[in-house]
């Protein structure tokens, strides 16, 4: 992974596309829907930071995204159920780019099975990632997103909606 100075970062370039100059964080960004959304944001001009529990998978995804879009992507290992880890993610973004404009909370797990097969522990693990993790990410990102001057809106079917 190559760090950029904020002056040479994609977020510092003049606007030429819809998200040019913006910085986006995608939790669950190492695969699936999160990686697809990150790719669309990068194609639209945003600097992208991928977050995932697996540092290796996240680093590989960032390399793939950079090769695919021609835009550098940073990776950051982060367990969204850990408030300190989420705060560290936001601190890293602010250190690298000086701002945060877009938060996509795509980290998620599924609790599968019938009600008599599914354990309470499996259900709690699902709720921790899908609901608590989304809330922690929104809580950590809301101040820098407000500071960036853009309206903040997060919509997630599991956590409801807020528009501070």
Q: What pLDDT digit, counting tens, does each position of 15-36 carry?
A: 467 677 789 999 999 999 999 9
Identify the architecture of domain 19-149 in CATH.
Answer: 3-Layer(aba) Sandwich (3.40)
Q: Are 61 and 35 in contact (CB under 8 A)?
A: yes
pLDDT single digits (tens) 85-121? 999 999 999 999 999 999 999 999 988 889 999 999 9
By DSSP bridging, strand 102-105 and strand 160-162 are: unpaired
Give the model's pLDDT for residue 21: 79
**Model pTM score:** 0.81
Give the model's pLDDT for residue 4: 47
pLDDT at position 80 over 90: yes
Nearest CA to 96 out of 52, 30, 50 is that of: 50
Reported as a pLDDT band with limits 50, 70 and 90, residue 162 is very low
């Amino acid at each position: 992974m190559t760090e950029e100075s904020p002056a040479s970062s994609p977020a510092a370039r003049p606007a030429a596309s819809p998200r040019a100059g913006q910085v986006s964080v995608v939790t669950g960004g190492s695969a699936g829907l999160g990686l697809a959304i990150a790719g669309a944001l990068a194609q639209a001009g945003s600097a992208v930071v991928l977050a995932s529990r697996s540092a290796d998978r996240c680093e590989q995804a960032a390399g793939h995204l950079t090769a695919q879009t021609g835009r550098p992507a940073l990776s950051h290992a982060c367990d969204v159920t850990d408030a300190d880890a989420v705060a560290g993610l936001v601190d890293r973004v602010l250190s690298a780019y000086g701002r945060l404009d877009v938060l996509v909370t795509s980290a998620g797990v599924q609790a599968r099975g019938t009600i008599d097969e599914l354990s309470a522990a499996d259900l709690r693990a699902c709720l921790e990632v899908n609901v608590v993790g989304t809330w922690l990410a929104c809580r950590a990102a809301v101040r820098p997103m407000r500071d960036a001057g853009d309206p903040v809106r997060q919509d997630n079917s599991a956590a409801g909606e807020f528009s501070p």
